[in-house]
Amino acid sequence: MDEIKLRYGVNPHQSSARASVPEGSLPFKVIAGSPGYVNLLDALNSWQLVREMKEMTGLPSAASFKHVSPAGAATGLPLSPELAESCFVKAADLSPLATAYVRARGADRLASFGDWIALSDTVDESTAKVISREVSDGCIAPGYEPAALKLLQAKKNGTYPVLELDPSYRPPEIEARQVFGVTLEQARNNTLITPALLDKVVTAKKQIPDEARTNMLVATLALKYTQSNSVCVAYDGQVIGMGAGQQSRIACTRIACAKADKWLLRLHPGVRGLDFKKGTSRTEKANAIDLYLEEDATEAEVTAWKLNFNTVPVPLTREEKQEWLARFDGVALSSDAFIPFRDNIDRAARSGVRYVVQTGGSSRDEGIIRAADEYGMVMVFTGLRLFHH
C-alpha cells in the first residue's frame, strides 16, 4: 500500500486523513505544500476534466475548481482584446496554457477565488506567473518547468500545494466509495464526450457550425465532472456559466444563465471602460463589476461598489443589456439529464442560447422541442445522462 497523510479531512476537526492505493504507487506526488482531503477531491476530478478536454480539442486546457465542481474550464484559444481586458491581462504575455487558465479563472472570478487549478500540459513560466498573483488553494499538472516550479514553491511562503500527476495513469475499471460504513461500487464513467453525441438533432433547425459544436462539447464535458443536477453554458471554447448541485433543473439553468449573462456583459465597452480608482485590486474590481451588473443589489451593496470608482458609473439598463446579449451567436447550453419543462428553454433564450444539448427521454420531450423551435434553436438528444456525485 502506498499512502500519504493529508493536512485534515473535509473539515479541520476531521483528523487522521490520508490518501492511499491498495497496490502499486499513488499516481501523483506532492512537490510542494501539504494538500487536504478536499484539495485532492478537486485535484483528481479536475485533472480528469482537463485531460479529456485536451484529448477532445487538441488544445491546452485548464480548469478552475471549487467544492468538487468547475467554476470554469477552458481551452487555450487566443484571447480577443476585449476578453483580455475583461480578464485584467495582456494577451501578448500569455502562453496557450496560461491563456487557458486565464479563461477558466475568468469564467466566474467570484467563484474562482481560492480555487484549485488543473492544467493539461507541463506548466511554463507564463502560466506560473498568472497563478502566482491569484488567490488559489493549489494546482495539479503533468509537470513543471524549473522556472515555473520555483515561482509556485514560493507561493504562500512555501505552503502552496503543488501536485505532479503521472499522465499515463489509468484507474481501475471499478470504483468504490464508503458512506456511513457502507461500501458502494460501480463501473467508472469512461464514456467519452465526442462529436458523435451531437448526431441526433431533434429540432427543425439542424445546422451546427464548427464553433457552436465545440461549445456544445465543452459544456457537456464540463458536466461530466460537475456535481449534479447541473447545467452548463459555454461560448468561445470555454465555460461561461455553471449551475451546479441544485435540486431543480430550472434553478441550475437560472444560475448558469445568470453567470453567462455577466460574462458576456463584462465584454461591453461600458463595463470595460469603468473608471476604477488607482490601486483597486483585481478581486475588488471583479466584485465591483459583479455588483454593478446585479439588478437586485441592495442599497448597502450599491453604496459599497460605488466606492471603487473615480466617477460613479450609470448602470446599464435592462434594454441595453438585452441588446448586447443579442449580439452573440454560438452560445451553447448543456444539461446533464433531460430537460423536463420549457421554462428552462425560455430562460436560456434570454441569454442568447442557440444550441442545446440534453439527454432526452422525458415525457414532455415534444413540448421542449416545440419551445426550442419557437426560438430558432438547435437541440440534440444524446441519450447519455451525466450525473456526478
User: Is position 268 annotated as part of the catalytic site?
Assistant: no
Q: Strands of 209-261 (E only): list them.
A: 230-235, 238-244
Same domain, 336 and 216: yes
Asked if residue 97 lies in contact with residue 62, where contact means CB atoms within 8 angstroms, the answer is yes
pLDDT at 257: 98
Same domain, 24 and 51: yes
Gyration radius from the chain CA atoms = 21
**Is residue 289 in a domain?**
yes
Same domain, 151 and 69: yes
Q: Which of 66, 224, 259, 268 is catalytic?
A: 66
- What sign does the CA torsion over 289, 290, 296, 299 have? negative
- CA–CA dist 255, 174 (Å, integer): 33
Q: Which of 45, 215, 229, 344 is catalytic?
A: 229
**Is residue 221 in a domain?**
yes
Asked if residue 61 lies in contact with residue 38, where contact means CB atoms within 8 angstroms, the answer is no
Contacts of 129-133 with CB under 8 Å at 24 or more apart are 129/93, 129/98, 130/89, 130/94, 130/98, 130/101, 130/102, 130/105, 131/101, 131/155, 133/282
**Is residue 182 in a domain?**
no
pLDDT at 301: 84
pLDDT at 299: 85
CA distances from residue 130 to 87, 97, 111, 133, 338 in whole angstroms, order as listed: 11, 10, 17, 6, 38
Peptide bond into 157 cis (omega under 30): no
User: Is position 67 annotated as part of the catalytic site?
Assistant: yes
Same domain, 215 and 103: no
- CA–CA dist 116, 241 (Å, integer): 18
The letter for the amino acid at 202 is: V
Q: Strands of the chain (E only): list them.
A: 2-5, 18-21, 28-32, 61-66, 69-75, 115-119, 136-141, 162-165, 174-179, 182-187, 230-235, 238-244, 331-335, 353-358, 378-381
Same domain, 203 and 247: yes
Asked if residue 388 lies in contact with residue 203, where contact means CB atoms within 8 angstroms, the answer is no
From the list 372, 381, 373, 369, the residue with the least C-alpha distance to 335 is 381
Q: Which of 67, 129, 156, 388 is catalytic?
A: 67
Give me the residues of the chain with pLDDT under 70, please.
none
Domain that holds residue 143: 2-170
Domain termination site, one of 286, 315, 344: 315
Same domain, 111 and 228: no
**Is residue 202 in a domain?**
yes
Same domain, 203 and 333: yes
Q: Which three cell numbers stand for residue 262?
A: 455577466
pLDDT at 114: 95
Does this model's pTM top 0.85? My answer is: yes
Same domain, 103 and 249: no
Q: Which of 13, 206, 278, 389 is catalytic?
A: 389
Domain termination site, one of 141, 170, 199: 170
Q: Which residues pair with 261 in a beta bridge?
A: none
Same domain, 67 and 202: no
- CA–CA dist 272, 270 (Å, integer): 6
Domain count, the chain: 3
Backbone angles phi, psi at 309, to 5 degrees: -115, 145
pLDDT at 237: 96
**Is residue 322 in a domain?**
no
From the list 341, 350, 347, the residue with the least C-alpha distance to 370 is 341
Same domain, 76 and 15: yes
The letter for the amino acid at 291 is: L
**The CATH number of the domain where 274 resides is what?**
1.10.287
- CA–CA dist 152, 164 (Å, integer): 12
Q: Strands of 107-237 (E only): list them.
A: 115-119, 136-141, 162-165, 174-179, 182-187, 230-235
**Is residue 185 in a domain?**
no
**Is residue 373 in a domain?**
yes
Exposed/middle/buried for 18, CB within 10 Å: 0-12, 13-18, 19+? exposed
Same domain, 42 and 128: yes
**The CATH number of the domain where 63 resides is what?**
3.40.140.20
pLDDT at 296: 83
**Is residue 230 in a domain?**
yes
pLDDT at 44: 97
DSSP label at residue 385: -
Same domain, 233 and 286: no
